[in-house]
Amino acid sequence: MSAQEDLPMRLMPRTITCTAICWLTFGSATVTVAGPAAMQLPVATMTAASAPTSPVDNAAFAPGADALPAAPLVGTLRIAQSSMQAQPELKGPVVGGRDARLFPALTLQVFSDGGTLVPVQRGEMVVDTSAQTARGARSYWTVIPQIGRVWREPGDGEWSRAALPLMLVNDTENHAHQGVATFLYRGGEITALRLQFTQQTAPYLLHQHFVLWGRAPATFTAGGLADLEAQRAAARRELADRLPTKPWSELEKQFAPGTLAGFGGPLRPKWQVINALVHRGTLYHQDSATPYGPYPYPLEMRFGVRSVMKSVAAPLALLRLAETYGPYVLDLRIGDLVPGLHPKWNRIRLIDAADMATGFGGHGSLKTNPNDAFAGYLEGDYDAWYTAGSTAEKLALINRNLKPYPWEPGTVMRYRDQDYFLLGLAIDGFLKSVRGPQADLWQMLQDEVFKPIGIHHAPAVRTLEPGGARGAVWANAGWYPTLDDQAKIALLLQAGGAHKGQQLLHRGLTTDLLAARGALHIKGDRSRDLSGELWGAAAARPADAAEASSDDDMYRMGHWFPRYVGSSSGKAFRLPSMQGSGDNRVTLYPNGIITLQMAKAAELPPGEQARDDDAAATHRVVDRMSPF
């Protein structure tokens, strides 16, 4: 049995590119095959002290078809801070005194389970240990390790190989670079790590798309995991909780040729990171193309989804609290829960902030007919607010730079990250008022919503508080989910907030959200009730339906609702969609299909166009699969 055969099918690399070299022994039929790892990163290369001059094909970071079982691996991996090369060269690599060309010093506990390599810190944002000493240059990055592989290559002698996915992320923004690391080990001896980061979600503070690679010296201390069997059992449970997963080719077999053509549009392939959909309970995914071959662990990728977080943290918390305490929580006032704000916040409800209709912001046009939902969005010293570390600093900048609009809350949609940050603080404040000072919005969601539906890790950015105190989670951005995580949240919403017979979210409010009831027309100046044209409903449309049924989006509780006319019914549907900068999208359809489009279409080079004109390209693919 190969090292791969004892892994769940969903964990195996999506594409294996294997170059074979055969040694025929005289008088023997024995054939030895070298996989891509041994061919591209042979023992001599891995044991050399020289830095790599370029990345290699990503297939070198996963076991090939003829990989052999590896020696067991249990212990602590200590990785030294090291320099990385970038292509293209970074124009502004140092942000806030931290250098994006440095791989951070890390300490990871790891263990193997058959052919699986499991970091104890999987799904966590692991901090740079060199920063704790306050000596020398600091890295811009924290790292999220994910589940990888161990195996042995024919011809490697006593050496075994280990590889694990690593995400470079940042603790003051929502930028992610998806990468891989590999090293050789035998006994207590290991080589340096070979690192490369060949895919990414949208940049912001670094302003560029780039590839990173390097070599990081490391040491290994064997043993030291007293609860090893419990750790293995936990990892197995997590893997078992994942949705059934199949490659895109398996989905294509189920439909006539051409049915799936255009999926991922209108975004051009160059700016797509990975596309997937959920159909009849199975997650189907495409390859994640990179300049160095497909990313070998697509199901382990974590993405900087930015404003997709607006569809998750605060809305799910409100729906959970409405189920627990009653729908009145939506009408609580921000100013009563976050002290020290402008007096207008005493009239602004949680639901107003969730709808981006606080009537606060004070920048951009005062014209509301038609309204420009993004007027003044990045004004008011936005970057200073965005990069401010602590809650107190962020609140001070809001009070200094944002002012009330002349209209009432709940009437005009103006997109503001600050509104969602304050909404998160207010929900957290309510939790503390009813559960005590230890209560926390994000922890509540993990315990009461995420874990019940099989999401075991939820790394997210928090404010950086003095003395290392736990900060407030950003409700406006900062989440680093997998495809599986996002699909499960969409499935929960699709099921009316229920999972395996347990009502986790308030059913009525969840149903209303998916139907966009009470949603704001982004070019209008009052709420719209679209119940007559949503999800095939037969009720009469309101008198203002001509405006409401235009091609412009609607907005409600962190969700966008683009309009699409079904090919079978001829009816107009508002499609619930979670969206984030860079063209990250998770969309729910009335035929039960869920699409996931992870992308990087931000900070484009001059003259580059990321989108085609066909805005409904992916909607039509889903419609062709199962007409609605």
Q: Which two tokens stand for residue 211?
A: 């590839």
Helix 417-435 and helix 391-401, axial crossing angle in degrees, nearest 10: 130
Please choose, from the candidates 351, 281, 287, the residue with its C-alpha nearest in 3D space to the C-alpha of residue 314.
Answer: 351
Count each helix (H run) and each strand (E run) in the chain, helices first: 16, 32
Distances (CA, A) of 557 to 326, 330, 370: 17, 11, 21
pLDDT for the residue 144: 98
Give the pLDDT confidence of 454-482 residue by residue, as tens digits: 999 999 999 999 999 999 999 999 999 99
Kindly state the DSSP code that residue 447 receives in the 8-state scheme: I
Percentage of the chain beyond pLDDT 90 is: 87
How does residue 617 score in pLDDT terms, banded at 50, 70 and 90? very high
Residues 539, 531: contact at Cβ < 8 Å?
yes
- As a whole number of angstroms, the distance between CA 343 and CA 328 comes to 21
Helix 313-325 and helix 417-435, axial crossing angle in degrees, nearest 10: 30
- As a whole number of angstroms, the distance between CA 301 and CA 148 comes to 11
- As a whole number of angstroms, the distance between CA 521 and CA 554 comes to 5
Q: Which two tokens stand for residue 311?
A: 């569809």
pLDDT for the residue 31: 37
Q: Where are the domains of the chain?
A: 9-240, 245-287+303-309+481-625, 313-468
pLDDT for the residue 239: 98
Percentage of the chain beyond pLDDT 70 is: 90
How does residue 135 score in pLDDT terms, banded at 50, 70 and 90? low
- As a whole number of angstroms, the distance between CA 413 and CA 405 comes to 11
Half-sphere exposure of 595 (CA within 13 A, CB side): 28
pLDDT for the residue 247: 98
Distances (CA, A) of 328 to 78, 347, 351, 519: 50, 15, 10, 18
How does residue 22 score in pLDDT terms, banded at 50, 70 and 90? very low
Q: Which two tokens stand for residue 472?
A: 């407030």
**What are the helix (H) ranges across 301-390?**
313-325, 334-337, 350-354, 382-387
pLDDT for the residue 76: 97
How does residue 26 score in pLDDT terms, banded at 50, 70 and 90? very low
- As a whole number of angstroms, the distance between CA 355 and CA 554 comes to 10
- As a whole number of angstroms, the distance between CA 209 and CA 169 comes to 14
Q: Which two tokens stand for residue 442?
A: 């994000």
- As a whole number of angstroms, the distance between CA 533 and CA 490 comes to 21
Please choose, from the candidates 459, 513, 520, 462, the residue with its C-alpha nearest in 3D space to the C-alpha of residue 490.
Answer: 513
* 191-213 average pLDDT score: 96
pLDDT for the residue 526: 79
pLDDT for the residue 133: 60
Give the pLDDT confidence of 172-189 residue by residue, as tens digits: 999 999 999 999 999 889
How does residue 134 score in pLDDT terms, banded at 50, 70 and 90? low
Q: Is 550's pLDDT higher than 90?
A: no
pLDDT for the residue 130: 81
Backbone angles phi, psi at 253, to 5 degrees: -65, -20
pLDDT for the residue 132: 61
Judged by DSSP in three states, 159 sits in: coil
One-letter amino acid of 118:
V
Q: Is 284's pLDDT higher than 60?
A: yes
What SS3 string covers 271-306?
Answer: HEEEEEEEECCEEEECCCCCECECCCCHHHCCCCCH
- As a whole number of angstroms, the distance between CA 272 and CA 274 comes to 6
In terms of C-beta density within 10 A (0-12 exposed, 13-18 middle, 19 or more buried), how is residue 289 classed?
middle
pLDDT for the residue 137: 86
Give the pLDDT confidence of 347-370 residue by residue, as tens digits: 999 999 999 999 999 999 999 989
pLDDT for the residue 546: 32
* Residue 53 CB neighbours (<10 A): 7
- As a whole number of angstroms, the distance between CA 407 and CA 190 comes to 64
Q: Which two tokens stand for residue 411?
A: 């009437």
* Residue 20 CB neighbours (<10 A): 13
Q: Which two tokens stand for residue 247?
A: 């490659």
How does residue 308 score in pLDDT terms, banded at 50, 70 and 90? very high
Helix 483-494 and helix 507-514, axial crossing angle in degrees, nearest 10: 110
pLDDT for the residue 21: 31
Give the pLDDT confidence of 566-616 residue by residue, as tens digits: 999 999 999 999 999 999 999 999 999 999 999 999 999 999 999 999 999
Q: Which two tokens stand for residue 50?
A: 């020289």
Q: Which two tokens stand for residue 281?
A: 């309970």
How does residue 158 score in pLDDT terms, banded at 50, 70 and 90? very high
pLDDT for the residue 34: 60
- As a whole number of angstroms, the distance between CA 456 and CA 123 comes to 8
Mean residue pLDDT of the chain comes to 91
Q: Which two tokens stand for residue 598?
A: 């992870």
pTM here is 0.92
Q: Is 429's pLDDT higher than 70?
A: yes
- As a whole number of angstroms, the distance between CA 3 and CA 115 comes to 5
* 541-553 average pLDDT score: 44
CATH class of the domain comprising 313-468: alpha beta
3-state helix, strand, coil in the chain (%, to 5): 25, 25, 50
* 255-275 average pLDDT score: 97
Residues 477, 311: contact at Cβ < 8 Å?
no
**What are the helix (H) ranges across 159-296?**
228-240, 248-252
Q: Which two tokens stand for residue 450?
A: 């995420």
* Parallel, antiparallel or unpaired: strands 498-499 and 502-503: antiparallel
